[in-house]
Amino acid sequence: MAVLKVHGSPISTAVMRVVAALYEKGLEFEFVTIDMKAGQHKSEAFLALNPFGQVPAFEDGDLKLFESRAITQYIAHEYASNGTQLICPDSKKMAIMSVWIEVEAHQYDPHAGKLGYELFYKPMFGQTTDPAAVEDLEAKLGKVLDVYEARLTQSKYLGGDCFGLADLHHLPTLHYLLGSSAKKLFDSRPHVSAWVADITARPAWAKVIAMQKS
């Protein structure tokens, strides 16, 4: 069996998304740390793996992939019989999950990602958080979470009754936002709050967080 490799930084939300899928599947992999402060992600060697110079890059034998959500979907399909079933074999149920996979990428993440940048990454890099931007992003994210609250009255997870990629893809940004003032956006919506508590308590996710401390 080929060695699976993930190239990236353990604090990157995109990298965390891929690693979460691997741990849910119980797959062994090699983590290749990319020193982004030193510009290693712009090196010729890394650009051969991801021409956009962004983490992560992923290898499964001769197969080389980039874009975290494409990687998680490959993992879920290629290793469907391993670990957690992250996709639905039923085509109609999978279609519903696919809708919420798209919602995360195009409705939730644009606001959540920018909010995480303001509240977590800027302070970490010694930059100043923009209060006006935070207020605007919280309002926009709140509207998305109102839709989530309604959805989660109908099913335990976004994609249906079982944990899947639609839920997993939220975990990295959730991790940073729950440690910030934005936590109130999730806590104030009871169904969203219960969903967050459920998915962030998964053993596989604890392993992802542990990588940041090693």
The model's pLDDT over 129-179, given as tens digits with 9 standing for 90+, comes to 999 999 999 999 999 999 999 999 999 999 999 999 999 999 999 999 999
Instruction: Report pLDDT digits (tens) over 52-61.
Output: 999 999 999 9
- Residue count of the chain: 214
User: What does the pLDDT look like over 152-164, one tens digit per residue?
Assistant: 999 999 999 999 9
- If 0-12 CB within 10 Å is exposed, 13-18 middle and 19+ buried, where does residue 9 land? buried
Choose among 176, 178, 212: nearest CA to 195: 178
| 2 pLDDT more than 90 | no
3-state class percentages of the chain: helix first, strand second, coil last, to nearest 5 = 55, 10, 35
Percent of the chain at pLDDT exceeding 90: 92
Cα separation, 26 vs 172, whole angstroms? 19
How many CA atoms does the CB half-sphere of 35 hold within 13 Å?
Answer: 3
Q: Is 67 helix (H, G, I), strand (E, B) or coil?
A: coil
pTM over 0.85: yes
- Distance (Å, whole) CA 174 – CA 13: 10
In whole numbers, what is the pLDDT of the chain averaged over residues?
Answer: 95
CB 54 within 8 A of CB 131: no
Taking residues 21-48, report their average pLDDT: 94
Cα–Cα distance, 176 to 110 (Å, whole number): 14
**Domains of the chain by start residue, with CATH:** 4-85 (3.40.30.10), 91-206 (1.20.1050.10)
- Residue 67: CB partners within 8 Å, gap ≥ 6? none
Q: Judge whether residue 1 has pLDDT over 90.
A: no
Task: Using pLDDT thresholds of 50, 70 and 90, give the confidence band for residue 86.
Answer: very high
For residue 189, pLDDT over 90 is answered with: yes
Q: Can you tell me the distance from the alpha carbon of 77 to that of 61, in angstroms, rounded to the nearest whole number?
A: 16
